[in-house]
């Protein structure tokens, strides 16, 4: 999509993700977390109809079930005993805590799935190169040469296999020996190839002076605006958190789960912060529907 969430400057996106992850960890309140999970799920659905998330589904499910089951068994702090399991009291507070830890984890994992889709390697590398240009260059070089090396190993193994010197046959000793020989030759080959690569680099003036850095992304006014929006909401939320709103008190007395007073404001702010990608994507959808309708 040219416009939606992926069109924002990588830095803005990074800020968004950092804020959401911090938020998920700070706002330990069932309703806050539930709202977050719902919106993150929607975000995943909008991006790729939840295909990537499904791949992680099993792992996420297993982990959250384990946490929900195990926390009450090990955590015995609280006042309200629900029932006894093997003579151990199971506390309501601990059950709630288990659910909150689990949903925090699910939320973080699910937002990471979108992170992988939205912040593609080139965007990450761009951010990275701002801080450490030399390392970014090295990363880019290895992104080119590691696959090349792997391809060469495969080719060499094929050739050795036709020669009858396969490394997947024979005794362990023999396999290891053949494997080592292939490795050794591969290194010789790689060295030779890298001389050519180095020639081609210096032929294009590498190392003569300080390199400039191509800025593939520019902070547009839209990005600044968004950054302001995100930061503003974040400050409001941080303020709320410092006041103790949006965190469910478990001790000394269990707070009621329903919101009270200003908590409504923080809840809505929180939803707007997480839902920012959904808003931008939704705007695009409406925009297109309207456009087509007008045609």
Which spans of this chain sit near other proteins (rule: CB under 8 A)?
122, 140-141, 143-145, 147-148, 151-152, 155-156, 158-165, 178, 181-182, 184-185, 188-189, 192-193, 196-197, 199-215
CB of 128 to other proteins, least distance (A): 14
| Cross-strand pairs, 133 | none
CB of 205 to other proteins, least distance (A): 3
CB of 14 to other proteins, least distance (A): 20
DSSP helix, strand, coil percent of the chain (3-state; round to 5): 75, 5, 25
> Of 191 and 242, which has the nearer Cβ to other proteins?
191
> Of 171 and 196, which has the nearer Cβ to other proteins?
196
Q: Do the bridges between strand 81-85 and strand 88-91 make them parallel or antiparallel, or are there none, so unpaired?
A: antiparallel
- The answer to whether 254 and 43 are in contact (CB under 8 A) is no
CB of 174 to other proteins, least distance (A): 9
For 49-169, where are the alpha helices, taking DSSP H only? 51-74, 92-118, 121-131, 133-163
> Of 25 and 195, which has the nearer Cβ to other proteins?
195
> Of 212 and 221, which has the nearer Cβ to other proteins?
212
Taking the alpha carbons of 182, 187, 192, 196 in that order, is the dihedral positive or negative? positive
Tokens of 208: 């003569």
Tokens of 290: 């309207």
Per-residue DSSP letter, 6: G
CB of 201 to other proteins, least distance (A): 6
Task: Please give the Cα distance from 153 to 149 (Å, whole number).
Answer: 6
> Of 178 and 226, which has the nearer Cβ to other proteins?
178
């Amino acid at each position: 999509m040219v416009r939606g969430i992926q069109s924002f400057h990588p830095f803005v996106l990074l800020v968004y993700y950092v804020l959401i992850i911090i938020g998920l960890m700070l706002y330990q309140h069932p309703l806050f977390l539930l709202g977050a999970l719902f919106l993150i799920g929607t975000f995943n659905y909008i991006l790729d109809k939840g295909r990537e998330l499904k791949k992680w589904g099993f792992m996420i499910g297993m982990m959250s079930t384990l946490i929900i089951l195990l926390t009450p068994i090990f955590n015995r702090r609280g006042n309200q005993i629900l029932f006894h399991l093997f003579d151990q009291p199971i506390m309501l507070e601990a059950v709630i805590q288990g659910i909150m830890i689990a949903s925090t984890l699910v939320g973080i994992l699910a937002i990471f799935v979108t992170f992988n889709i939205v912040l593609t390697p080139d965007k990450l590398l761009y951010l990275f190169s701002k801080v450490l240009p030399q390392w970014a260059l090295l990363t880019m070089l290895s992104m080119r040469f590691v696959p090349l090396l792997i391809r060469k190993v495969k080719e060499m193994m094929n050739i050795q296999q036709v020669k009858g010197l396969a490394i997947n046959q024979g005794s362990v000793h023999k396999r290891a020996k053949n494997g080592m020989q292939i490795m050794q030759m591969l290194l010789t080959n790689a060295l030779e190839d890298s001389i050519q690569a180095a020639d081609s680099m210096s032929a294009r003036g590498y190392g003569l002076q300080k390199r400039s850095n191509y800025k593939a992304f520019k902070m547009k006014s839209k990005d600044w605006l968004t950054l302001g929006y995100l930061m503003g909401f974040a400050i409001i939320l941080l303020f709320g958190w410092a006041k103790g709103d949006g965190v469910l008190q478990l001790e000394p007395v269990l707070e009621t789960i329903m919101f009270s007073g200003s908590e409504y404001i923080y809840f809505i702010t929180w939803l707007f912060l997480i839902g920012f990608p959904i808003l931008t994507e939704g705007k695009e959808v409406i925009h297109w529907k309207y456009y087509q309708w007008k045609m």
